[in-house]
Structure formats: structure tokens, C-alpha cells
Structure 1
């Protein structure tokens, strides 16, 4: 019996609602496994099918593995692997065209790896498979199976599933683009840096190491252009100083350099700070006020901690970056600006995009040119020069004649510096201020008396306010036989209380042992009475970076 007009309208409306809900789900996050499961649940609810699967191609372009499924148990999931041209799913993938099987019980090409034939059912079970496309490439296959009905063919299913598969294809393709970009950036950051031709210099920036010379070269290369720059690196690596150097080396050097820390303001204050406000636009707005975009017109705007901007404000910021115009808070007049944007973050934006907390379109808008700033522990040859630079500035500001001794430099070279250049600067200023003589040596540094602020933060104890700080020598093996495992601990230095108790928690004990042994895994393994192989597995398990000096 043919459906009447009301039934056709209801089906069309249901299909439209289905596509709309699935599009919202797929746009909400780049966690494809999560969004595909939710999309299949919507399809199962609206189409009333028994099972649904989404199989995506591996990197080899031949093997298909399940990415999401509805109605399968663990055993069926493991069995559901396919190859191009194998069975119905393999043929859909290879041909790039939908295939409908009205009755899977009579189809010899149906492999039944997911057990669709084995479930009890009444009547015939039909199967529909459509290709998932990303551009001109087939990325996978979307399938459903349901009880066949004489009054309901499969044309509607094919049409709806094709639309859904196109949405899925766009989502999968976007995830792969983000993943490839992240891998490219990470390989760029971790690759061996070659010595650039000549030497580069930046005002107020100290860096003779290969890593910093590479950064300087990139700054000189990108500064004359109009491109948006994203500075990346740990907190305290000097991103603001590099941003100012980019401005000073650009054609805009005579124009304003305006900076704003996005993490320091709430969303409402951030909007007012960036875009300005009209008089009377909110309580306390007694006068008209220009925002940072207007103040930086013709120059450079530096947005620090861009990764901390809320998702709601990201949408507003994206429009300004695209159109280069905005309205003040409480105003209706569009204001056009000519601003060169430099952003900075210490966050992993790729993970944030995948988690749906950072807009992918804004990510691509600000990530035109990326410059990675190395951590201070990765460029230890710059530590002494930086320390002398900070000490020279301290002498000028305080009318002193302080100098750094050789053993004082050795102390600085053996620190880990989790706070990077900012921590080194604070350490020099604190030590120079408290020193009672003009030559800073080992005894003047807080770590020599177990008062290092970094150690206090690192060895914070849950029970006590601050746990006793340990600065013990590396254990030494008695005799020459390492397999014996017999060790002795040298005596603590006079006046220093040494505690051999390991911190609570496996990760804390691992870090403690590695620090006591100078980050030599074999020695740390002996200290913990485990094998080097077990030590390596434990470090990988807890994602502990092995520090190299």
C-alpha cells in the first residue's frame, strides 16, 4: 500500500531532523569514535534498524576496521574486519557505490562476520551499505540491517544514509587534517635543528644555542610578512619577548605594539578590552573607550594564552579575524582595523580541537605560521649567558657590582628549570638580593640549604605543609658487580638532613628515584630494586619525560 501525503511529509520531516541532529553531533567534537557512536544511536532511534556499523579504512587503504557500531557485542566487534572487494562491505568500499541486499540469508557474498544471520528474527533481514567519502576519496563504509517490510523499500534508507555518510566523511577528513598538522608541528619541534647560516640576533633576547638560533632565523623570516604567527612553548620560555621582536623587525615597527593576556580576564571583560565599549553600554561605562584592536590599528596585537579563551568568545574572535571589523560593546557601528596578530599558548591546541573545546576554524585561522620556543632544559648552553644578562640588569637597577662564580654557574647548569627563563630570572634576582657579598657562589643559592621553591612545589606532601627536601647524591654500587644489587648511600653533606623515604605514589617514587640518580634509568632501577626493563615500562606508563642534561 502506497503511503499517503501525510505519511510522506512525516517521513521527510523525520529525515530532515535526523540529518540535523547528526550534523550537530559531528560538529561538536573531533573525537570521531565518540561522535560516530552518538550518530549511529540517532539513526537507530529514527530508522529502527537492528544493527549499524561504521568501518573506516586503515592507512594501507585496504583493511577496514570498525570505528563505531550499534547492536554488536565484544566478540562480534573483534570479528568484524574486512578487506577491499571482500564481501558486501568490501565491494561497497572498492566500488564507492551503495549496495542493497533485500535478504541476507540468500546472499552468498554476505560474510556474516558480525553475526546478523545468527540473531533470532521474524521475516527477511535487509542490508544497506553506503560509502563514506571525504572529497574524492572513499574513507569507509556505513551499513545498517533491519527487518524488510513489503510496504517499505530501501530507497529512503539509501538516500538518508548517503547524506549521513557525507557528513561522517567530512568529520573524518577534518580529524585527519588536524592529526597530520599536529604530527607535522611535533616533528618540526623535535627534529634535530641544523646550525643556520650565520648568526642571528634579537634585541633583549639571549640565545646562542642551535635551538634558539633556529627560532631567531624563523623570526627574521616571518617578521616582514603580514602573516598571523602562533608562538608555542611552555610557560616562561619568553613568548612575549619573541612577539615584540617580530613587531620590531616588521614594517609596522613604528606603530603600536599592544598586548593582552586572555587568561587574566572573564569573557565579558575580555570582550570590552578587545573591542571597546560605548558610553552607557553597561553599568560603570561612563565614557566611550577604545579596545585593544583599535589601539593596535596599523600595528601588532599580541594575544597571550589564546588557548584559555572560552568557546563562546572564540566565535566572536573568529569573525573579527575573518572580516577585520567589529562593533564595540553596546554599539552598532562597524569599525575596520588593520592589525597584525601574534598569538601565544602553552596548551596543546590539537587535543583541544579534538575534544571540542577549541574551534577548528579558529585554530586554522591563528595557526598560519607556528614558532616553537624550546624549554630552557633543552638549551642548557644558554643558561650561563642568561644568568649573566639578568645579573647585569640587576646591578644596573640596584647599583651593585655582583658577579657569578664558576661553581655558582655549575649549580644553575644542573637545575631542571620547570619554570624556564622566568624561573631562572627570579632565581638570580632572589639570590642576588639576599647575597651578602659580591661574588655569588654555590652557597648563596636557596637549593644549597634545601629552600629551593621549585623543590618545595615538586615535593609537596599531602600530610605536611612541606615535606623535607632531599638533595642526595647518586647511589654508588659496592664493588663492580651490578647484578649483586648491593648499594651504599654516601653520607649527607654537613648540616643537611637526608631522608631516604620514597614519596607516596608510584609516579612520585619514579620521579624521586630518577632525580636522585641524575636521570640515569639503570641507576634509578637499582635504587628501586627493579630491572631496567621494568623501569622503562614504568616511565612510559606514567608518561614521565626523561630529562637529558
Structure 2
């Protein structure tokens, strides 16, 4: 007997389309729909082939991930030893040729076929008489991904062509099972990797006092915070909005001797000016309409502990004066009161504004500036935290999935796109973008186009943030060479830093200089900035302030 590919199978026997065939197809479809694993579905299908159609020792061979050889992944009627022996290259035996060519094959008599190897099943194990071997490719589109094969007795009433039809149908089912399982494995593997990275990040978070991130910029800020945490020095946290100033102030408190005492925070920009004094200092009964009882303020309530004042640059001059008294004398007077109330509170302040510029503009007291700026710590913006976007993004994705009851993953290229973005709104913006992405993802997969769509919506906001970033980026950082301070005019202060790009105020007489630089560089703003010894951001900030943004 000879081996016949489908093109040479010329038997005219009628194809059996009886109840057994229909039952096998229906049961195989049911197994695919109900089985939790591909092993259960495929092994169940091979069992049906054997018990109902007489296609025995069925096996599904797939390329091994390790060596690329065809290996028996699923089988019915084979021993463990036989399964282990069933390894083939794409050049070996009937099975290898089916995998290589993508054509099905029929061995009418295994004893008469020179190319039949008897590698998996010894001839002595097979029944007496003429035994046939059928093998069909498992196809995904035009790609052969495996082989479905089985033995059968040659002399049976059932035609071989009928078996080939059923095998082709079942091979299609199996191809779908494999494809679905591959997708699940890829997603699960991706999720496992993300969970492992997040687990490592969370472990590192413990070492970082609760801050997620491994960048040098974050570690430097943490090092400065922990160095002064247990001292009475006044700390000023600077940096753009959304960089985590309150979280860093909590770390400062938790690492100090005051950690067992209250930690209170107040955003000076979030409370109406007429209410802020009462909120900070408290009030006496009858101090104003509605003051029906004496109420301590945040400074008193934080006695023994730490008070964090965010957006300190928004305090009016009167409250600045009262805050200076607290810092110097550790006493307060409630609104409507006449007696001093002693307090023992550490005040930590933060701002996204440049207080030196505010001093020069006359909106911030010079003496208070000196009192607050004893130990400034600059918190890095997200764009300067190399590698932290990926860690934070996965953390926020996990949190959003829990909050919204979703099971959403990042698609290919999403993390890379987010790492390349500037993030003018910093950590707060990143969290917001991911929450929105989770809500709009239709198939449980956040795509690059989803992220791009959200970022386009935020582009208008980002333009307004750039000017603020430019001002803050010029704020002297504790990690940079120390700057001295000189008085230029009464009440005005300007830094003289060792940096090659010192801070300079925007002056109207700079307009000609900026335009000349643009003309020399053909309108290239980055080169023009370098020509003037500025950063590109400083240069753009000046163009914006002087209304030269449309300059050529």
C-alpha cells in the first residue's frame, strides 16, 4: 500500500454522513464551548473520534517551543512513553511531511509504507491486519500550526474519505481552540509579567517610604527628605502641580519624632481668603456672625505634630505676617482673640510658584521667604523620572480596574507611548488618563489610539500648563549648586547661581534680543535658546510673556 495525499485519494466510496459523524461534530463543538482548558476540549474530541468513529490513538502534534520539533501535545489511547517518543522534525516521516507541506496524507497500509517510522507506536502494539494512518494539517489561515493524526483499520465498511472529512472539520475546531488558548496565554503571560513588576515596585515602595518609583530623581528627593525629617528645620517643597508634595510631606512627618502626633494638611488656594484665617488660626466665640463657639484652627489641632501648608504662595500679605509670627514665636492668636496661644507645631510648606519671583513682584514677604526657604527640596516632574511612568501606570491601572470592576490590560506600545509623553500635569494627570482609558476600552484592551485620543483632548489644557512649568523649572533646587541671594532694590531679590543657565526675570527690553536670536537660527527656538544661554523652556516662556509666540 502507498501513502496518498488528498489529491491522490480516488476512492469512490460514499461519504458517511450518518448520526455518528453528526454526534461527534456536535459534541466536539460543545466541548470547545464548555471546557475551561484546551486539554479537556481536545482530549475529549480525540476520545469521541476513537469511541464513535474508530479513529484510534488520535494525537495532536504541535511545534515545541524549546527545539521546534513536532511533539505530541494532546492524545487519546497513547501511553506516556509513546507520547514522549512522538518527536519529529519537519523532514521526518508522514507527520513531518504533512506539517511541512500543509497537505493531508493517507497511509493505506503502514506495513507497506517505507516512510512510516513506527516511532510513536510499535507495530506489535497495533492490531493484526491492515492498519491505516490518516494525518491532516491544523491550519490557521494559510499557516500550518500542527497535525491531527490517527490510526484506523483498513478493512472497514466506513470509507476513508468520510474519516478525512471529519478529521478536517475537527482540525478546524482544534485550530480555533489553539488560537484562543494562545491569545489567553499571551494575555495571561502579559498580566503575570505586569503583576510581577508591580509586586517588585510595591516592595520597592516599602523601601521608598510609600513612594512608587525607582528613578534617581525620586531617590534624591527622598534622601533629602529623610535627612532632615528628624530635625526642626523648616522644609519648603517646590515643584510643579501633581508631583506629590503632600505625600512627601507625610513621609517627612512619619520619619520624624512627631510621627505619633497629628498630621494635618491644608491647601491655601482651595479655601476662600475670608475663611482661610479662621481655618488656620481658629476663632473665638462671637468673633463674627455665625461664630457661636470657640473653634481651634488647624495650627492648634496639629499641636505636637506637623502642619502641611500647600500652595503657600497664595497667602495674602496679612496672613503671611501672622504665619511668620507662628514660625518665629510658636504662638498664635485666634480670630477675635486677644491672648497668645502657645503651639508646638512643625510647618512644612509647598508651592508650585516661584516665591523669589513673587518677592520681586511684591506679593510675598522677603522675611517669610527666608524663614521658609531654609531647606528647599525640589520634587521632580514626571518627565524627569526615568522609568517611573511604567511603574506608576501599572499601579494606576490596577487601582482603576478594582475601582470600576474591570479587567483591562495595556495593549502593545501603550506603555512606550506614555513614557514618551511630556506629562505637564504629572502624576495626577497620568492617573486621570489611565482611569479614562479603562472606562473607554471596549474589549478590555487599552490601545495606543485610546491614549492618543485622550491626550488630544487634554492638549488645550497642556498649553496653559507649559508657562507654569517654565517658571517652576527655574526654581533653585537643593540638589544643584547652592545659589546666593542679593538684594537688587528694596524688597526685591534675585538669585545668582553657579549654573550655566541662571534664572533671569522677563524684561521688555529682551524682545529685540529674542527676535535677533530667532533670525540668526532661522526660527529654530531650541538653537536660539542655546545661543542666549537659556533652556528651550525658558526661551518659550519669554516669547509667551512678551507675546512673541507667533514670531518667525
TM-score (norm 2): 0.48
Q: Based on CA coordinates, which of the two structures has the bigger radius of gyration?
A: 2
TM-score (norm 1): 0.48
